[in-house]
Each structure stands twice: as C-alpha cells, then as structure tokens.
Chain A
Amino acid sequence: MTSRPPASDADGGGELERAIGSVSQSITDPVAKLRYLRRSLADGQAADRHVRAVPSVQLRRMLYRILSVAGLRHTIDLRSLGYAGRTEATSGRMLFLSRIAVAAAALCVGVGLVAVAYKTARPAARPVEASVPKPRSQSPAVAVAEPGPELPRTPGLAPSAVWLVENGAGFEQYSNGLRIDTSFAVPGPPRRYRVFEAGGGFGEAVYAEPAGILFHTTESDVWPLEASFNENLRDSSHRLLRYVSRNRLYHYLIDRFGRVYRVVEEGSKANHAGHSVWAADGRTYLNLNNAFFGVAFETRWDGGRALPITQAQLASGRTLTEYLRQRYGIAPDMCVTHGLTSVNPRTHRIGHHLDWARGFPFEAFGLPDQYRRTTPSVGAFGFGYDEEFLRVLDEPWPGVRAAEQDLAREAASRGTTVDQVRRERQDLYDRWLAEQVQDDEAERAGATTAARSGRTTTSGG
C-alpha cells in the first residue's frame, strides 16, 4: 500500500524469513509453530552472525535452510510476550544454574549406579520363545499362512528366526532388534472369536489365537521431530500411552522415536477395530477386535499422500510385524490397515475410519499390496461410499474398483441391477452381524460357558 521498495536479499532478511517460513509452514498447530519459531530464533542467533558473512547468496540460502535459523538484528527475549515481570529474570537464571548443578550431580551418581546395577543384576536371557512355531490349528488364518514376500533386504546379517534374547523389568528384547516396552501393558478380556466360513455361515469353532494384524494411526498430536520439541514429543507420547492403555485401545503402540510399547496383552482383545470386515481364504471376519492384533503408529494419517511415520517407526513396525507374524503364524493376506476394513453398518458404507486407507508401505513390511486386493466389504457385502470418502481420497483404492466390477458382472449375469445385488449382500451382512452380536451377548451373559469351553481352541492346540 505504500511505496517503500522491498528489502533486497543482500541483507539476508528475505532469506531468513523464507528459511523459517518454509520449515514452519508444515506446522499446523499455532502453539507448536510459536515454539518452533522462537526456539529456532534462539538457536540460530549465534550461527546467523556467521552465515550472514558468507558472500554467496546461494550458499547462504543453503546454510539457512540447513540450519533452519532466523537471525534478528536485535537481541530477542524468548520469554517475551510483550510484558514481563521484573523479578523473573534473576530468579529464572538462578533456577537454571541450580538445575544444571543438580543435573550434573545426578548424572554422576546415575552413571555409577547404572554401572554397578548392570554388573550385578543383568537379567538372564530366556530361551527361544517367539521362534517356536505354533500349531497351525490355533487360528483359522494359519491355514492360509503362506510365506509371503521376503522383507526388503537391508544391509547386514539378519537372524534366522525371531527369538527372545532377554527380558527384564519392563522390556523384552528380540533377536531381530525388536525391543518391546512392557511397562504399560494391561490385560484385557480373553480373545475369543468365530469366523464365517465360505458357504457354511457362522462357524462353530471358537478361536483364541490371533489371525491377523490391523495397522492404525493414533490421530493424536504430532510435534515436529526436532530436538527442541523433545519435551513435547515425550509428553505427548506418555499421555497417549496412558490413555490407550487405560482404554485398552491397541495391542501395540509405536511412538515417534520408534519405541514399541505393549499396550494390551497379546492374549487379550483390544478395542481397536470396531465395525470392520476382512476376508481371506474363504473365511470372513466381522469386527476385528478379537481376531486381529491392533498395531498403532503415533501419528496423523492426513490423507496418506506422504508417509506419515518416522524412519524409526517404519523400522520398528517391520520388526514388530515380523515378530508377530512368526510367533503366531499370521498369513501375509491377514495383515491389513484399519482404513481398508472399517465400515459403518448403519449406512452400509466403507471408510468409517480412514487411517491408512492410502499410503501404508506394505512392500516395505514384506506384505502384499492390500489396496489392490478386492475389498471384502464391497465385494461380499455390497458396501458403498459417500462424498466425504471421496473428498478425502479423491478416488477409492483399486480394491474397491475391483469389487465394484465384480458386483457389476454379477448383476449383468443375473439380469438385475447393481443396486439390487448390493442390497442382497448388505442384507447378508446384516444377518451375519446380528448372528455375531447375538453370540457376543450370549458370551457376555455366560450362557454358553460350558459349551464354549469344549469348543475353544487353546494355545495347546
């Protein structure tokens, strides 16, 4: 609106703003952005003096980019909110110095204690456990447990199997590098489920072993993966852990640093899947809380156009999947994402939850691309989708299209409409769901306890 010429790049002003802006642009939370900006300014203040002396504009830009710094021409007060009490600075400095002193003393004591403790109380390694193959009759999916694609190779030696190397208070260490923090683990209701057999309806057999793995995102707060946000990252994960543990939401949670936490014991059901559908090898599974492990990555899916997990999460996800698959003989076709299975039974629509409805790195996990697999909820039960689904995904994943083609072929061969075919299949879903709900209620009421105990397949086979 006024006529002052813009500041040239020569003074670095534009470069600074761009460097900061390009990094902070991805931060959507205003508080996180504020913290990022202010801490970047503080961290970069010293570096900025040197960077500004670099004569090459390109080189300066690159340095700013690398450092993500922004320099100011005046001293900044990071606590400045435009007004600050006069007594706080001194007490703050004293507090800071005293904290450093206490921390240094604590570090010395801590290092000594850890050294002594390690020598005297190193936990004894327990023998092979995860690598022991379980009898195939434990879960229906074991029957279809093909080896699947090899895990993509990474340099270095890989163990021949996954076994428990050692465990101790609050942890288990496995041979493939997987370390599970067990300090948050809670028991849940024992796993128990029945499946719908192809052509046979609701099977009589009751299973207690997991048949599959369902991958989730927690949709919780995500802080920038930077040292200056360490406290936020840790706090956020701990709050999340307490919450998911209290509500028994997943079997495993992988935090942003790739730490794997057991949330609900492996022999229990977790409340992770809700109304959901999956099918493989002629067996159909409704509502996957019991039959599937819930493995959640601490992140927001955000449409799945970019991989929303950290490298550490990816690495831990791979080792955890490898461990679970090997220990329970889980077939690759039974490893799928929540977004691919979640349905709304009332509206007969897919995508009730959409986490990982796109973008899960199946290949990196040594798993088949489930997005291309005919989607059971659409193919077998005639489910559709709505505008909201398309708004998020633009178009359905290929498996939905494949299922729709199956429905169209079925309609053409019978000389009826696709809508009619859909309605029939939705009716089938409603009937099966009602059967399953009835069975669950009977289980809860304890009416079938005696009969069930005879049918349940236990870990002994």
Chain B
Amino acid sequence: MADERKDHLWKVQEADERMEDLVGTANPVGLDVGTSKVVSARKKGKGVDTTMELNAFIPVPYSRFTENILGQNDISYYREGDELIIYGTATERFANMFNTDIRRPMADGVLNPREKEAMGVLEAIIQGLLPRAKTQGEILAFSVPAMDGKSSELTYHEGTLRRYFESLGYKAVAINEGLAVIFSELEDENFTGIGISCGGGMCNVALAFLSIPSIMFSITKGGDTIDQSAGAVLNEHAFRVKVLKEEGLDLSKSPKDKFEKALHIYYEDLVQTLVDALRRNLSRAEKLPKSDRALTIVLSGGTAKPKGFKDLFERTLKARSLPIDISGVRMASDPQTATARGALIAAMYEK
C-alpha cells in the first residue's frame, strides 16, 4: 500500500534523469570545439554532465607490436596507412616519450589547414565524446570563434563540422564562443555583459545585451601562443611548457625561475593584447547598447585558469579607459566547461 512512485519521481535528485529516460525525449548537446580541448555538455537531472578530451594527436610508425601495446593500454588511436594516429589525452604522454611536440587538428580556432589528418582526428575525438543521436534531429550546438576578416575559413570550418554532426543524426547549430560564455555565466544579469573565452588557439570576446550579441571578436593569441613563445625562448618543447603551466602557475606571485618568468611575460602580453582589442572594438562600435547598469566581464577557458589571471586582467583593464562602465570581472564557475555549458543552453533554446 505504500507504493509511492512519486518518492522516486519529482522530489529526488534523479527525478529529471528518470523523466528523460522514461519519456525518451531528445537530449540536446552543447559542444565546445576548441583548439586545445573538445568539451561536451549534456543535461543530467538538474545538473549538467560535461566530458572533455584533449584536441591533439601524435602519429607513430605502424607496427603490430606498437598497435598491441596501444590496445592493451586502452589508448585511443586509429591506423592511417603506415602510421598509427594516437589522439586525445594519451597524446601528451607519447609526446614526452618520443620527445616531440603534440600536433593539433585545429589552429587559431578553426580546422588546421596544415594538417591533412585534421578532420579525421577531430572526428575520432568527437566520437569519443558524442554518441550518435538517439533520435534524428536532436539539437547540437557547437562553438565557433569570431573571425575578423577570415570569414571564408570560418565558413569552411563550420560547414565541415555541421556536415559531420548531421551524419551523426544531429541538427547542428553554431554559436559564437564568447556568447556561449555569456549564456552559461551571465543568467543573473539577464545575459547582459561581456563573455571572454581564453582558449588554446585564441581568445574570443562577445558583448551581449539581453542575450543579443552586439560585438564579437577574437585575437589569435591563446594558450598555445604562450607555450610556443616561452618554449622558443627557453629551447623547450611547447608541450613541456604547457605541463609546467598547468602544474600550478601563479601569476599573482613573482616568478621563481626562468620558466615562470617567461610565462609571466607572455601572459602579460596576451592580456594586454586582449584588453587593447576590447577597447578598440568597443570604441569603434557604432551602436553600443545603452544600459544604466555597468557590465560584468566573465573570464573563462583553460588559459584563464592560472591563479592570478583575473587580477592581471583587472590591473590591465584599470590602466585603460573603456567607453562603457564595467562593474567587475569574475571567473566563470568552471572556466574549462563554460563554453560547452553555454552551447548546451543554446541547444535547449533551439529545441
């Protein structure tokens, strides 16, 4: 007599998941296709489930022995002619082992024209994160960068990805990366403010008023630029610099060694370039939305993760005069997944 399906329905954590399973509704997906990482976001109950994969690969010569080793160690790879293409998270380990740099299927936010394996690798990485659509026409929103003066490259990049997603059964819509950050982080501000995504290949910026984008631009500097520049002056592989950077770089403290000194210098350069570009784009905007409230800036992306990045950005911002009021700068709740979560909101909006 005490049957109470409701106990397991509305008022428990798993309720929404069960609901989704039971009614079999389509599950929209948000995908951040970044130069450095690919991140997927799906709704799971009341929350959002995110998964990420390194967007990198390294080819090694084919041999049956190597293939067996890769298979036994559960390493993602596929065979292409006389090479084995190792991709995803394991890439860094192998780059270290072979003392070489990792390679990227994407560069400067779009498919890397210098890599013939670009789309093949990207497809393999996406397949690992994204199952085929359960029902034809499920909505998938994927991030694309703002491309100042490079619209043909963006058109090719967006079109190639869209076709691939459609082959998996999705209806794909593209969303600007900066706007996605606004969607995920500025809900309380009615999606009004500035979203900045500092990724591996570039930094994307969007200013939106009540969710409508007014300004979108990008700079082709990002985490990879920092790694490569620091690596070049230190005579080190970029991926090793990246490892050092991710091991706990603190931009609020004085650098301890030459590595940190180089990273500080290139981080400062990146932030200066970013703030200058922000000021330039705001100044030349013909029709800025008018608001009596100052705008919030949200910083996201893996490159914004080091401690002290926000303070560095704020310091640089204070030294320049912007044509709009800024109420404050804050970090995204989870900088690495902000774009994917925003894309998910866009997908749900499109549903």
Contacts and interface: CB of A to CB of B under 8 A. Distances in A.
A130 to B, nearest CB: 27
Given A31-B345, A72-B212, A246-B22, A13 B290 contact: yes
Interface in B1-38: 1-7, 9-11, 15, 19, 22-23, 25
Nearest to A38: B211
A85 interface: yes
Interface residues of A, number: 62
A241 to B, nearest CB: 10
A243 B22 CA distance: 8
Given A1-B328, A290-B1, A9 B349 contact: no
B58 interface: no
A420 B161 CA distance: 70
A340 to B, nearest CB: 15
A247 to B, nearest CB: 5
B324 A4 contact: yes
A456 B314 CA distance: 77
B325 A4 contact: yes
Contacts of A31: 345, 348-349
A73 interface: yes
Contacts of B314: 1
Contacts of B321: 2-3
Interface residues of B, number: 65
Contact of A82 (B10, B159, B176): B176
Nearest to A4: B325
A271 interface: yes
At the interface, is chain A mostly helix, strand, loop or mixed? Answer: loop
Contacts of A242: 23
A7 interface: yes
Nearest to A345: B2
Given A30-B187, A41-B212, A9 B6 contact: no
B41 interface: no
Contacts of A77: 212
A390 interface: no
A193 B1 contact: yes
A1 B155 CA distance: 37
Interface string B310-323: 00001001100111
A287 B5 contact: no
A21 interface: yes
B224 interface: no
Interface in B170-211: 173-176, 178-179, 183, 187, 190-192, 206, 209-211
A33 interface: yes
Given A2-B324, A83-B158, A247 B23 contact: no
A249 B8 CA distance: 11
Given A37-B211, A83-B176, A20 B2 contact: no
Nearest to A30: B187
A31 B187 CA distance: 9
Contact of B144 (A83, A218, A248): A83
A14 interface: yes
Contacts of A83: 144, 154, 158, 174-176
Nearest to A444: B1
A243 B192 CA distance: 37
A219 B11 contact: yes
Most chain A CB within a 10 A radius of its CB, from B5, B19, B144, B176:
B5
6 contacts: A20-B210, A73-B290, A216-B6, A219-B10, A275-B2, A352-B7
